[in-house]
Structure 1
């Protein structure tokens, strides 16, 4: 079968999708541009019309991932309104849902070693995603007395760290890390403990 080369309909996106498949299987450093080109059905030389190297290709996958992630977070946030607590908890669950549904994007975003500041477009997409959770945290923090109120950026960072930990340890089918609880239950209970510590929800009776 002849290579499609420069006549490929949307080579840039085809390369991103090829990279995402390879990232899921081999990780962000386990594939070459030549492999991505082969997956997309073009010659290796054609890749350089769109990307200078593998890191640029992964950065574009991460940018698309953050854009999708931000849309999902916004949907989750809106779904939880008008309750600040429901909106915040909904965004936390959206993190886990995204990691499970889009593993290639998730790895590109959080595990590839690519800086979110590599391009202005990537930085903007990442900032929009973080901003939604920070807004949810800000609204929830308004229920805490001012002298006990943590910065919203710290509040949201704690939840992101908790969510990422659950994904890494228990939602990726890593051998030897099976839990008697589902990732969803682990995340929900962890967020609940955190929010109780801040006095935002009542203690268990």
Structure 2
């Protein structure tokens, strides 16, 4: 392979794309910067013009993932307005759709062990994504008496945890974790049980 070195058109993004492929194939700790450089078609020395190390490269992949994730969540939220319930449920489905469509980004964001506070840019992107779900939770929880209303951050954290569990166990082909139900149905029913417990949707009986 001819090394393109510093003449690469967009070396920084090429390295991110290489890292995403390697993350999918080997996990976030299963590759080296040299491997990312080789896949991007440049020398290892060229990498250090853009990233101090592998963790910084993964952090940038995660930042880009959060930007995409927030855009997807915002679109899902806006699409079902003014129904607070439909908008909230749509953000849950968007989480699952993102994990399936962008596994490399998802792993960099949630499974790499990289702190969202590693860079201000990463922290801002992650905060924007969380804020969308918190806003959806706040809109929906207005129907709960204030004395019984959970904080929107707690409400949204519960749903994020549920969504993440469905993704990890059933939506990304985890070995030995096949489910008799589609992940979408598992998530929808789980959110339904949660919302029913808060009195936000009527009981089935």
TM-score range normalised by the length of the shorter chain: over 0.9
Q: Which residue is 1:53 aligned to? A: 53
Report the secondary structure of 1:178's partner residue: coil
Provide the rounded CA distance (Å) in 2 between the counterparts of 1:62 and 1:100.
Answer: 15
The 5 Å alignment of 1:79-94 reads: 79-94=79-94
Matched, 1:197 2:193: no
Provide the rounded CA distance (Å) in 1 between the counterparts of 2:180 and 2:93.
Answer: 19
Deviations 1:90-131 (A, max 9, x none): 001000000000000000000000000000000000000000
Q: Which residue is 2:9 aligned to? A: 9
The 5 Å alignment of 1:1-205 reads: 1-205=1-205
TM-score by length of 2: 0.99
- Aligned-residue RMSD, C-alpha: 0.5
TM-score by length of 1: 0.99
Provide the rounded CA distance (Å) in 1 between the counterparts of 2:140 and 2:82.
Answer: 11
Provide the rounded CA distance (Å) in 2 between the counterparts of 1:129 and 1:2.
Answer: 40
Deviation, structure 1 residue 2: 2.2
Provide the rounded CA distance (Å) in 2 between the counterparts of 1:72 and 1:189.
Answer: 22
Provide the rounded CA distance (Å) in 1 between the counterparts of 2:179 and 2:92.
Answer: 20
Q: How many corresponding residue pairs?
A: 205
Deviations 1:132-185 (A, max 9, x none): 000000010100011110000000000000000000000111111000000000
Structure 1, unaligned stretches of length 5 or more? none
Provide the rounded CA distance (Å) in 2 between the counterparts of 1:80 and 1:158.
Answer: 21
Deviation, structure 1 residue 23: 0.1
